[in-house]
Amino acid sequence: MKTIRYGSRTIQKVLMRDTSRSHRLVERVSRIIEDVRVGQDAALLKYTRKFDKVRLSPREIMVSEDEINGCYQDIKPEFIHSLKTAIENVRRFYGKAIKKFVKVRHEDGVLLGERYRPLENLGVYIPAGQAPLISSVYMTVVPAHCAGVENIYLVTPPNQHRTVDPHILAAANLLKVKAVFKAGGAQAIAAMAFGTKTIPRMDKIIGPGNQYVAEAKRQVFGYCDIDMVAGPSELVVLANDHSDPGLVSADMMAQGEHKLGMSILVTTSKRLAKTISKLPCRGFVIRVRNLAQGADLVNQIAPEHLQIMVKQPERVVKLIKNAGAIFLGSFSPTAIGDYMAGPSHVLPTGGSARFFSGLGLRDFLKCTHVISYSRKALEKVRPHAELMAGLEGMKRHYESLKVRFE
C-alpha cells in the first residue's frame, strides 16, 4: 500500500478514483443494449452463449418450478437458518410504517400533499461470477417488499449446468420473488429496461455488477429508473494510536477480497501507518495531524464504507457528512453490514456518497403531488399566476385562469 501525506498532490488520485470510462466500453455496451432492444430473447440468448458459454432455449430463460424445488437438495439446513436470521434483521430495520400521504392545509381551502405509491415492476440484478452474491438478494428484495412492491423479478447469470446457484434460488424462493431469469451482464440490464417476450419491462433496475453492468445501467437510465451506478467496493478506516492494528489489518484485507476493492487508512498514528503500509492489498495510507483533519479528508473522499476505530467514535461521527455507511467501534466491521446488520449493503461508491444514499424505502416509491384549490383560494392568487403566465407568453394558461371568474 502506498503511504501519502495529507495535502500532497497524490491525494487527488484518491479523490478522483473510479471516474473514467473507456470509449470502447461505452460503445460495446451500447451495441449490446440496442441488439437486445431489437432482437429481444434471441439476442439475449446469443450473448448468453457468447459471454456465459451456456446454450439456453427460450423456455429455459425463466427458472422453472422444478429447479426451484430442487435447489434445497443441494444446500445445508444451517444455511436456511442463517438466511432467515439475516432476512429478519433486514426486515426489522426497514419494516417501520411509511406515511403514504402527506397533507398540508392552508387558509381559504387550499390542500397540498404528496402521495406515495410503490413501483409496480422491479428488476433485481444479482451477479454470480466466481461466487454467488447471496446476500445481495435479501439486501435488495426485503426493502422493496417493505415499501410495498408486489412484482419483484430476479435476474442472474446461468452456471455451466444451465441453472442458477441453489443458494440464490433458495433466497429468492423464501422471499417470494415473482420469477427468476437466467441472464447476465449488459444484456440482462437491456432486457429488463426494454422487456422481451420472456422478461417483463421493469420500472426500476437495482443491484451490483461489473463495469459492463454499471455502464448498461447508466445508458438505460431514463427508459427506466436505476438505483445508482456503482463502482468497485471501497473502505476507509479512520484510526489513531488507540486502534488495534490487528483489527484494522483484518478489515482492510477483507476489503481486498472484492475485485478492484480499495482500502484506505486515514490515521494520526505513525506506528499504525507503518504497520498497515506493509499489507498486500490495493489502497493508500494517509497521515493526518488530528482526527478533525481526518474527518475533513473522509468527507472529501466520501467513501462507500467508513469504519471509525477510535476510543470514542461517537464524537468523531458528528464531523462526518459524506459516507455510504458508517461503522462505529472495534466490534462493527464492514463485514457485519454486508451480511447481517439490517441496512442494505447497496451503497454509493467512487465519491458519490456526496449526493447519493444507500438503498432505502424511498428508492421503491414514487411521489405524486396532489393540489386542490377552492374558488376563494384561486381568486386570491389569480393575479400573480396571470402575471407569470403573461411574462412567459402562455396565453392559454392565462385564459384558463381568467375563464373561471367570467
* Residues acting as catalytic residues: 304-305
Comparing C-alpha atoms, which of 48, 210, 42, 50 is closest to residue 126?
210
Contacts of 36 (CB under 8 A, 6+ apart): 43, 44, 47, 187, 190, 191, 194, 196
φ, ψ for residue 198, nearest 5 deg: -95, -45
CA distance 403 to 158: 62
Closest by CA position to 328, among listed 373, 318, 338? 318
For residue 372, which phi and psi values (nearest 5 degrees)? -135, 125
Least Cα distance to 307 among 292, 317, 297, 299 occurs for 317
Interatomic CA distance for residues 349 and 248, integer angstroms:
21
Q: Cell triple for residue 86?
A: 439475516
Neighbours of 106 (CB within 10 A): 10
Instruction: Find all residues with CB under 8 Å of 61, minimum gap 6, and list them.
Output: 41, 44, 45, 181, 182, 183, 198, 199
Q: Which cell numbers in the block locate residue 240?
A: 489513531
| Contact present, 284 and 2 (Cβ < 8 Å) | yes
DSSP 332-366: --HHHHHHTSSS-S----TTGGGT---S-GGGGEE
Cell of 255: 476489503
203 vs 208: CA distance, rounded Å = 17
What number of helices (H) and strands (E) belong to the chain? Answer: 15, 14
